[in-house]
Structure 1
Amino acid sequence: MKYVILIHSNPQPWGHPTGEFVAENQALPAEQRQRLDADFETLLGQMQESGELLGGEALGDPRSASLHRWVDGERVAVDGPYSEGREHFAGFFLVDVASEERAREIAARFSGPGETVELRPTMWPGGDER
Protein backbone atom coordinates (compact mmCIF):
# COMPACT_ATOMS: atom_id res chain seq x y z
CA MET A 1 0.00 0.00 0.00
CA LYS A 2 1.48 3.33 -1.03
CA TYR A 3 0.99 6.49 0.99
CA VAL A 4 2.34 10.00 0.76
CA ILE A 5 3.36 11.78 3.95
CA LEU A 6 2.92 15.53 3.41
CA ILE A 7 4.82 17.93 5.64
CA HIS A 8 3.14 21.29 6.31
CA SER A 9 5.23 23.92 8.05
CA ASN A 10 5.89 27.65 8.32
CA PRO A 11 9.58 28.10 9.04
CA GLN A 12 10.94 31.63 9.32
CA PRO A 13 13.16 31.96 7.41
CA TRP A 14 12.29 29.17 4.98
CA GLY A 15 14.83 26.37 5.19
CA HIS A 16 15.28 22.63 5.55
CA PRO A 17 14.94 20.66 7.59
CA THR A 18 12.00 22.89 8.36
CA GLY A 19 11.96 21.99 12.06
CA GLU A 20 15.22 23.86 12.60
CA PHE A 21 13.48 27.09 11.53
CA VAL A 22 10.17 26.68 13.41
CA ALA A 23 9.75 28.62 16.66
CA GLU A 24 8.10 25.72 18.52
CA ASN A 25 11.08 23.47 17.73
CA GLN A 26 13.66 26.16 18.49
CA ALA A 27 12.08 26.63 21.94
CA LEU A 28 12.90 23.04 22.92
CA PRO A 29 16.07 22.29 24.87
CA ALA A 30 19.03 21.47 22.58
CA GLU A 31 19.25 17.92 23.95
CA GLN A 32 15.61 17.22 23.08
CA ARG A 33 16.03 18.64 19.55
CA GLN A 34 19.10 16.45 19.03
CA ARG A 35 17.19 13.37 20.23
CA LEU A 36 14.27 14.13 17.90
CA ASP A 37 16.67 14.56 14.97
CA ALA A 38 18.47 11.30 15.80
CA ASP A 39 15.15 9.43 16.15
CA PHE A 40 14.04 10.73 12.76
CA GLU A 41 17.32 9.72 11.08
CA THR A 42 16.99 6.26 12.65
CA LEU A 43 13.44 5.95 11.31
CA LEU A 44 14.55 6.95 7.80
CA GLY A 45 17.39 4.42 7.93
CA GLN A 46 15.05 1.64 9.06
CA MET A 47 12.57 2.51 6.30
CA GLN A 48 15.33 2.50 3.67
CA GLU A 49 16.55 -0.92 4.85
CA SER A 50 13.04 -2.38 4.83
CA GLY A 51 12.22 -0.92 1.41
CA GLU A 52 9.31 1.11 2.80
CA LEU A 53 10.84 4.49 1.86
CA LEU A 54 10.40 5.05 -1.87
CA GLY A 55 11.53 8.68 -1.95
CA GLY A 56 10.87 12.20 -0.85
CA GLU A 57 11.73 15.80 -1.56
CA ALA A 58 11.97 19.06 0.32
CA LEU A 59 10.27 21.97 -1.43
CA GLY A 60 11.57 25.49 -1.94
CA ASP A 61 10.28 28.69 -0.39
CA PRO A 62 6.54 29.09 -1.07
CA ARG A 63 7.22 32.65 -2.23
CA SER A 64 8.81 31.09 -5.33
CA ALA A 65 5.61 29.16 -6.13
CA SER A 66 2.94 30.01 -8.64
CA LEU A 67 -0.71 29.05 -8.47
CA HIS A 68 -2.57 28.08 -11.63
CA ARG A 69 -6.35 28.07 -11.67
CA TRP A 70 -9.26 28.10 -14.07
CA VAL A 71 -11.31 31.27 -13.45
CA ASP A 72 -14.32 32.28 -15.51
CA GLY A 73 -13.30 30.03 -18.38
CA GLU A 74 -9.72 31.34 -18.48
CA ARG A 75 -6.44 30.05 -17.15
CA VAL A 76 -5.01 32.37 -14.50
CA ALA A 77 -1.54 32.21 -12.94
CA VAL A 78 -0.69 33.99 -9.70
CA ASP A 79 2.68 34.26 -7.96
CA GLY A 80 3.12 32.46 -4.63
CA PRO A 81 2.66 31.78 -1.91
CA TYR A 82 -0.01 29.43 -3.11
CA SER A 83 -2.31 29.86 -0.13
CA GLU A 84 -3.26 32.50 2.37
CA GLY A 85 -2.82 30.05 5.23
CA ARG A 86 -0.03 30.24 7.76
CA GLU A 87 1.29 26.77 6.96
CA HIS A 88 2.74 25.81 3.61
CA PHE A 89 3.56 22.52 1.96
CA ALA A 90 7.23 21.93 2.83
CA GLY A 91 7.93 18.47 1.43
CA PHE A 92 6.80 14.90 1.08
CA PHE A 93 7.84 11.28 1.50
CA LEU A 94 6.45 8.39 -0.53
CA VAL A 95 6.21 5.11 1.38
CA ASP A 96 5.12 1.59 0.49
CA VAL A 97 3.91 -0.26 3.57
CA ALA A 98 2.04 -3.45 4.41
CA SER A 99 -0.96 -1.77 6.04
CA GLU A 100 -2.72 1.47 6.89
CA GLU A 101 -1.75 0.89 10.52
CA ARG A 102 1.95 0.89 9.57
CA ALA A 103 1.46 4.07 7.52
CA ARG A 104 -0.17 5.78 10.51
CA GLU A 105 2.63 4.60 12.81
CA ILE A 106 5.25 6.10 10.50
CA ALA A 107 3.34 9.37 9.95
CA ALA A 108 3.02 9.88 13.69
CA ARG A 109 6.81 9.71 13.99
CA PHE A 110 7.24 12.31 11.24
CA SER A 111 5.33 14.94 13.21
CA GLY A 112 7.48 17.54 14.95
CA PRO A 113 6.92 20.69 17.00
CA GLY A 114 5.27 23.42 14.92
CA GLU A 115 4.61 21.14 11.94
CA THR A 116 1.56 19.28 10.66
CA VAL A 117 1.89 15.94 8.93
CA GLU A 118 -0.80 14.71 6.56
CA LEU A 119 -1.06 11.05 5.55
CA ARG A 120 -2.87 10.24 2.36
CA PRO A 121 -3.12 7.06 0.28
CA THR A 122 -1.96 7.31 -3.31
CA MET A 123 -4.31 6.59 -6.19
CA TRP A 124 -3.49 4.42 -9.16
CA PRO A 125 -4.75 5.09 -12.70
CA GLY A 126 -8.46 4.47 -12.62
CA GLY A 127 -8.92 6.05 -9.20
CA ASP A 128 -8.33 3.07 -6.94
CA GLU A 129 -6.62 3.86 -3.65
CA ARG A 130 -3.74 1.49 -2.96
Structure 2
Amino acid sequence: MKYLLIMNVNAEILEALPEAEQQAIGAGHQKFMDTIKASGEFHSTVALKAPAETAVVKVRNGVPAVTDGPFVESKEFLGGFYLIDVASRERAYELAAMIPDAGIEGLGVEIREVMFADGL
Protein backbone atom coordinates (compact mmCIF):
# COMPACT_ATOMS: atom_id res chain seq x y z
CA MET A 1 0.00 0.00 0.00
CA LYS A 2 1.26 3.43 -0.87
CA TYR A 3 0.98 6.36 1.51
CA LEU A 4 1.87 10.01 1.21
CA LEU A 5 3.55 11.37 4.33
CA ILE A 6 2.84 15.10 4.06
CA MET A 7 4.83 17.74 5.88
CA ASN A 8 2.92 20.95 6.43
CA VAL A 9 5.38 23.65 7.44
CA ASN A 10 4.88 26.63 9.70
CA ALA A 11 7.87 28.90 9.08
CA GLU A 12 7.31 30.83 12.33
CA ILE A 13 7.64 27.65 14.38
CA LEU A 14 10.74 26.49 12.52
CA GLU A 15 12.43 29.89 12.64
CA ALA A 16 11.86 30.06 16.43
CA LEU A 17 13.88 26.87 16.96
CA PRO A 18 17.53 27.17 18.00
CA GLU A 19 20.01 26.80 15.14
CA ALA A 20 21.14 23.37 16.39
CA GLU A 21 17.56 22.06 16.31
CA GLN A 22 17.03 23.47 12.82
CA GLN A 23 20.14 21.65 11.61
CA ALA A 24 19.04 18.46 13.38
CA ILE A 25 15.85 18.48 11.30
CA GLY A 26 17.84 18.16 8.08
CA ALA A 27 19.99 15.41 9.55
CA GLY A 28 16.86 13.65 10.79
CA HIS A 29 15.32 13.72 7.32
CA GLN A 30 18.50 12.21 5.87
CA LYS A 31 18.43 9.46 8.49
CA PHE A 32 14.76 8.82 7.71
CA MET A 33 15.48 8.55 3.96
CA ASP A 34 18.39 6.20 4.63
CA THR A 35 16.11 4.01 6.76
CA ILE A 36 13.25 3.72 4.25
CA LYS A 37 15.63 3.21 1.33
CA ALA A 38 17.38 0.39 3.19
CA SER A 39 14.03 -1.24 4.02
CA GLY A 40 12.76 -0.94 0.43
CA GLU A 41 9.80 1.20 1.52
CA PHE A 42 11.00 4.41 -0.16
CA HIS A 43 9.30 5.43 -3.38
CA SER A 44 10.06 9.14 -3.80
CA THR A 45 10.23 12.46 -2.02
CA VAL A 46 9.75 16.12 -2.88
CA ALA A 47 10.64 19.27 -0.97
CA LEU A 48 8.92 22.44 -2.14
CA LYS A 49 10.15 26.02 -2.12
CA ALA A 50 8.55 28.61 0.15
CA PRO A 51 5.18 30.18 -0.70
CA ALA A 52 6.89 33.49 -1.50
CA GLU A 53 7.96 31.86 -4.76
CA THR A 54 4.52 30.43 -5.50
CA ALA A 55 2.17 31.46 -8.28
CA VAL A 56 -1.49 30.64 -8.80
CA VAL A 57 -3.04 30.23 -12.25
CA LYS A 58 -6.77 30.84 -12.61
CA VAL A 59 -8.75 30.71 -15.84
CA ARG A 60 -11.82 32.94 -15.95
CA ASN A 61 -13.91 33.22 -19.09
CA GLY A 62 -11.20 31.36 -20.99
CA VAL A 63 -8.49 33.84 -20.02
CA PRO A 64 -5.63 32.63 -17.80
CA ALA A 65 -4.33 34.94 -15.10
CA VAL A 66 -1.26 34.36 -12.94
CA THR A 67 -1.00 35.84 -9.46
CA ASP A 68 1.75 35.70 -6.87
CA GLY A 69 1.54 33.74 -3.67
CA PRO A 70 -0.44 30.79 -2.43
CA PHE A 71 -4.14 30.48 -3.08
CA VAL A 72 -5.08 30.35 0.59
CA GLU A 73 -3.61 32.64 3.22
CA SER A 74 -2.26 30.47 5.99
CA LYS A 75 0.63 30.17 8.40
CA GLU A 76 1.07 26.58 7.29
CA PHE A 77 1.94 25.43 3.79
CA LEU A 78 2.82 22.21 2.01
CA GLY A 79 6.56 21.89 2.48
CA GLY A 80 7.05 18.49 0.92
CA PHE A 81 6.23 14.82 1.12
CA TYR A 82 7.51 11.29 1.07
CA LEU A 83 5.77 8.63 -0.97
CA ILE A 84 6.24 5.26 0.68
CA ASP A 85 5.18 1.70 -0.15
CA VAL A 86 4.48 -0.29 3.02
CA ALA A 87 2.67 -3.42 4.14
CA SER A 88 0.19 -1.69 6.42
CA ARG A 89 -1.28 1.57 7.68
CA GLU A 90 0.38 0.88 11.03
CA ARG A 91 3.79 0.80 9.33
CA ALA A 92 3.01 4.14 7.67
CA TYR A 93 2.26 5.55 11.15
CA GLU A 94 5.49 4.09 12.48
CA LEU A 95 7.53 5.65 9.68
CA ALA A 96 5.76 9.01 9.97
CA ALA A 97 6.76 9.13 13.64
CA MET A 98 10.42 8.95 12.55
CA ILE A 99 10.19 12.19 10.54
CA PRO A 100 11.67 15.06 12.59
CA ASP A 101 8.67 17.33 11.93
CA ALA A 102 6.43 14.93 13.89
CA GLY A 103 8.38 15.73 17.07
CA ILE A 104 8.11 19.52 16.82
CA GLU A 105 5.37 21.19 18.84
CA GLY A 106 2.87 22.79 16.44
CA LEU A 107 3.83 20.58 13.49
CA GLY A 108 2.98 17.04 12.46
CA VAL A 109 2.99 14.66 9.54
CA GLU A 110 -0.26 14.02 7.66
CA ILE A 111 -0.72 10.49 6.34
CA ARG A 112 -2.87 9.89 3.28
CA GLU A 113 -3.29 6.56 1.50
CA VAL A 114 -2.85 6.78 -2.27
CA MET A 115 -6.08 5.83 -3.99
CA PHE A 116 -4.79 6.02 -7.58
CA ALA A 117 -1.59 7.02 -9.33
CA ASP A 118 -0.80 6.54 -12.99
CA GLY A 119 2.42 4.69 -13.58
CA LEU A 120 2.91 3.41 -10.05
Q: Please, what TM-score do these two structures have when normalized by structure 2?
A: 0.73
- Quickly say closer, same or farther: Cα 1:98–1:81, change in 2 above 3 A: same
Provide the C-alpha distance between the structure 2 equivalents of 1:81 and 1:39, rounded to a whole number of angstroms: 28
TM-fit CA distance, 1:74: 6.1
Equivalent positions of 1:24-63 (< 5 A) are: 25-26=17-18, 30=20, 40-63=29-52
Deviations 1:41-68 (A, max 9, x none): 4332121011111111211121111123
* Backbone CA RMSD of aligned residues: 3.2
Give the Cα–Cα distance (whole angstroms) in 2 for the partners of residues 96 and 115 of structure 1.
23
In terms of mean alpha carbon deviation, does 94-103 or 35-44 score higher? 35-44
Cα distance in 2 for residues equivalent to 1:84 and 1:34: 27
Residue-by-residue CA offset, 1:82-123 (whole Å, 9 max, x unaligned): 320101111111100000110111112221424332111112
Aligned partner of 2:5 in structure 1 is 5
| Alpha-carbon separation, structure 2, partners of 1:89 and 1:73 | 28
1:2 deviation in Å? 0.5
Query: Aligned with 1:67: secondary structure?
Result: strand
| Structure 2 CA distance for aligned equivalents of residues 75 and 35 of structure 1 | 42
The separation in 2 between residues aligned to 1:38 and 1:65, in whole angstroms, is 26
Residue in structure 2 matched with residue 106 of structure 1 by the alignment: 95
In the alignment, residue 7 of structure 1 is paired with which amino acid? M
Would you say the 8 A contact 2:8–2:80 is kept in 1?
A: yes
Question: Kindly tell me: are residues 125 and 36 of structure 1, through their superposed partners in 2, closer, same or farther at Cα, counting changes over 3 Å?
Answer: closer
Percent identity of the aligned residues? 34
Structure 1 CA distance, aligned partners of 2:73 and 2:22?
29
